[in-house]
Structure 1
């Protein structure tokens, strides 16, 4: 540790702000919310100020007892300061562990226990989350509890440590743990994904190539969870490239429209389901999406209807929607752009082609038959960007590695042109259904009333469509029957309010949990 690293080989999160400030110190970051850890900072920060804040928070954490090589769990309400606090911990050579604020207390306890080793982790939290953890034996689970804001008595206060002596940055080795995030936990307790400087830097390669194609510097709007590994990649890119950045915490369409009208982004990166929720902005007479040249979604496949409506809402010449397929363990694997002229024939299952400088992808048989659209195989990925391990679960990690290839858990096939088609998660496949996601794409395209549609396995192994409508209005049976005439295998639809869908922090539906709910309900 502590040797000056080769930044072309490794991404060192702790010094990203000060490196960026040296080139682009005046570039602005604009937030739609206040920072819990720095309440006086305001909502418009220069990169130079961000660098000062990150170093100051690192000094405070050091004064609170955090040392290089220790785990610092960041578990607090959603806020951009989660990124700042993790960056500060990384500056000390500590390993930030980012936990979604949506995780319940029992899951947090399980993950804290999994982090036990030579040292128990530090827990960096706030008052509201500490109240949720009130029933846990935190003195047994964590070395210390550090309060960001209003954490209460008996908790070290980060605010009171302002002005702590400066501490120099500490660097890990290229292949040592540098950050830990977690999987979506759609099937149970999430896995803790270990990233290293090498894996994080590798994942930037294809995105650096794509950014180089931009003809001018655009204002970038980022609406992804503050604890997701994707945010750390996105922030590294926009800071080092000096791109003005908008950071959203309020994802409600009305608030988003107001924020975009005031700040006019040229590029938006958001979750697929956020874009789905923002479709209605295309009809807003104020045109809040008119300034957008590029839309980008990295988390999951996206519905063609959503892509079409968003591109139609732009008033820029030749706007593009760039879809990237990947996962927390892999990073970006394949991708492709869509233009207005493409959307009328867009296949939502075609998630893209290998990206320049990115991973190799293959599809291997699940049986003795050749992989095809009717007999999909396992999607596997290979490159240096794959996460190092699952912390505390090496055997579980190794189960996904096959001759050096990482098995993603998705099934699909490749076309003759090389496009990867992702049909379903293996665990979500339903007998007699070629692709649940394909059905969802088609039916959403036919029914504007739907804001979400999820096909899951019902109590008798039949495919049950669970639908959510705008304002929870009832859907006319004749409309549903006409839209689903091509899919006679579907069971009777179940209408749920969108708020009742079990979701992950990245707004993916927890299909296994939804299937269990149907078993209890039907």
Structure 2
């Protein structure tokens, strides 16, 4: 063949043949980012302060230790832990091995936790030393091949993974994860039934992590306070802050006084709270005495918020509030920015903000028809953040995921400006004689009463299997508010259909691990009380 012909053939081969781009997990990208400032404070837990360098070494050491113990790619690692720095490192290490990670909610019963451990086919259980007794209860019910303790020297529960990590080579552990592998199995909070495992791949997590940013150009590195469980939204936000060059301050649980003191002491700039926890913060006697000037962003979400309470929060905290609407199944859906938080526009505060870029939202009738602007229907979502499905529940997955569209189970509407308003959960909506009672509408009304701090509305079936409206109310201390006073206010504003048949006054609402009002528990207590009559 002539040289000219050879060149003609060879040239397109050189320009069109390309190796596929190297896949990088969110863990690898986050660890890479730590090298820029190895001595910066990365994780704070009480008196324990961990630098980027220490975290980087611990993650790789743990990954080597797990591999040496025979832990293989595509197996399930379950975390039973509070908000420990070592728990964050352990999750990253397991993901480096290509393992799928399931983080248990700590306030679930041992029976439910054991069921989840078995359901997700757990091969490795990583245990906070403070939960050693609960780990023993779980493993008595469901044997697990490998059990490691996250510090404390180990013991009868299992070897100390942090000690094993210290004895491993210093070289970086090369990730074994593949894009299509399962990265996380996140469970629903269980407020409307048995917790379901929500599956997300490494490729999805990496993409969502790149899209999210905790800092704008020119802003200082964020200092995020995580005072709700890392098994929920706080874990996702911690990942974003770690990758963005910031610091995460960890609390094991929410305590309003401790949160206020920590914001002042640690100069916290970012905070995530569910609405009931935000109300507790506002109502705490230390609120007015603490220096909260460092706070630049307070994100809230996870359940419905009261427009009246949010307007009060804006007046007292300034323009720092941002509402985020999303689901574990759907990823992010919409955001109500700080600029949208105008106390003079309660209808805007009632919304969940504008739909995010890259997210398609449709409001649909029960027969699947798309509904026009302003009409109530089920919110359906399509985006790259939508889960791949529920863990080993193809039937349930098929019910909620169709042609790439996720049925969220939320009832709401879109307005002409592209703002989405969530009115209720389909499972929370109360069917009464004469129509439907949307629980969030009634909660908004009750929460706006000057003698009420918080409320939760839920339906309870009576002996005739008819649903009755029940409300649990946290009154302003010393206000002397009565059930008849609240019923009269509801009657006057919304009519008799919305009037609660039963009102229970409580010092505080029971909350789930994630910080949502535990309506399942409230409903059960009401049913038990009715059975005793």
TM, length-normalised to structure 2: 0.84
Structure 1 position 53, deviation (Å): 2.2
Q: Which among 495, 500, 503 is matched to residue 494 of structure 1? A: 503
Structure 1 position 298, deviation (Å): 4.0
Structure 1 position 474, deviation (Å): 5.3
- C-alpha offsets along residues 386-436 of structure 1, whole Å, 9 cap, x if unaligned? 122222222222211123201111111111222111111111111234421
Q: Which among 102, 120, 123 is matched to residue 115 of structure 1? A: 120
CA contact (8 A) 2:100 2:182 kept: yes
Rate the CA distance shift 1:289–1:520 in 2: closer, same or farther, 3 A.
same
What secondary structure sits across from 1:399 in the alignment?
Answer: helix
CA contact (8 A) 2:80 2:131 kept: yes
Residue 314 of structure 2 corresponds to residue 308 of structure 1: no
- C-alpha offsets along residues 345-399 of structure 1, whole Å, 9 cap, x if unaligned? 223541121123x311111112599847996211111111112222222222221
Residue aligning to 1:467: 473
CA contact (8 A) 1:450 1:469 kept: yes
- C-alpha offsets along residues 241-291 of structure 1, whole Å, 9 cap, x if unaligned? 213433333421111111111122233222222212111259733243333
RMSD: 3.0
Residue 77 of structure 2 corresponds to residue 62 of structure 1: no
Structure 1 position 472, deviation (Å): 9.1
- C-alpha offsets along residues 179-202 of structure 1, whole Å, 9 cap, x if unaligned? 222111113321111221221133
2: CA distance between counterparts of 1:165 and 1:133?
A: 26
TM, length-normalised to structure 1: 0.85
Matches within 5 A, 1:394-413: 394-413=394-413
Rate the CA distance shift 1:499–1:279 in 2: closer, same or farther, 3 A.
closer
Q: Which among 501, 507, 528 is matched to residue 520 of structure 1? A: 528
Larger Rg: 2
What secondary structure sits across from 2:186 in the alignment?
Answer: strand
CA contact (8 A) 1:267 1:292 kept: yes
Structure 1 position 95, deviation (Å): 1.9
Residue 219 of structure 2 corresponds to residue 212 of structure 1: no
Rate the CA distance shift 1:50–1:271 in 2: closer, same or farther, 3 A.
farther
Rate the CA distance shift 1:131–1:19 in 2: closer, same or farther, 3 A.
same
Higher relative contact order (CA 8 A, sep 6+): 1
Q: Which among 228, 231, 237 is matched to residue 227 of structure 1? A: 231
Rate the CA distance shift 1:84–1:215 in 2: closer, same or farther, 3 A.
closer
Structure 1 position 16, deviation (Å): 4.4
Rate the CA distance shift 1:21–1:368 in 2: closer, same or farther, 3 A.
closer
1: CA distance between counterparts of 2:257 and 2:234?
A: 23
Larger deviation, residues 48-57 vs 125-134: 125-134
- C-alpha offsets along residues 63-106 of structure 1, whole Å, 9 cap, x if unaligned? 44322222111113443432221112112222221111112111
CA contact (8 A) 2:509 2:517 kept: no
Residue 176 of structure 2 corresponds to residue 176 of structure 1: no
Structure 1 position 127, deviation (Å): 4.7
In the alignment, structure 2 segments of 5+ residues that lack a partner are 1-19
Q: Which among 268, 274, 288 is matched to residue 285 of structure 1? A: 288
CA contact (8 A) 1:183 1:328 kept: yes
Q: Which among 194, 197, 202 is matched to residue 197 of structure 1? A: 202
Residue 457 of structure 2 corresponds to residue 454 of structure 1: yes
Rate the CA distance shift 1:417–1:434 in 2: closer, same or farther, 3 A.
farther
Residue aligning to 1:249: 252
Matches within 5 A, 1:336-347: 336-339=336-339, 342-347=342-347
What secondary structure sits across from 1:186 in the alignment?
Answer: coil
Rate the CA distance shift 1:437–1:250 in 2: closer, same or farther, 3 A.
same
In the alignment, structure 1 segments of 5+ residues that lack a partner are 34-41
Matches within 5 A, 1:364-443: 364-367=364-367, 371=371, 376-431=376-431, 432-443=435-446
Rate the CA distance shift 1:231–1:445 in 2: closer, same or farther, 3 A.
same
What secondary structure sits across from 1:342 in the alignment?
Answer: coil
Structure 1 position 61, deviation (Å): 2.8
1: CA distance between counterparts of 2:470 and 2:365?
A: 27
1: CA distance between counterparts of 2:341 and 2:150?
A: 49
Rate the CA distance shift 1:213–1:520 in 2: closer, same or farther, 3 A.
farther
- C-alpha offsets along residues 289-341 of structure 1, whole Å, 9 cap, x if unaligned? 333232212423322233223322336xxx23211111111111111114487
CA contact (8 A) 1:301 1:351 kept: no
2: CA distance between counterparts of 1:205 and 1:301?
A: 28
What secondary structure sits across from 1:379 in the alignment?
Answer: strand
1: CA distance between counterparts of 2:231 and 2:403?
A: 31
Residue 262 of structure 2 corresponds to residue 263 of structure 1: no
Rate the CA distance shift 1:313–1:25 in 2: closer, same or farther, 3 A.
farther
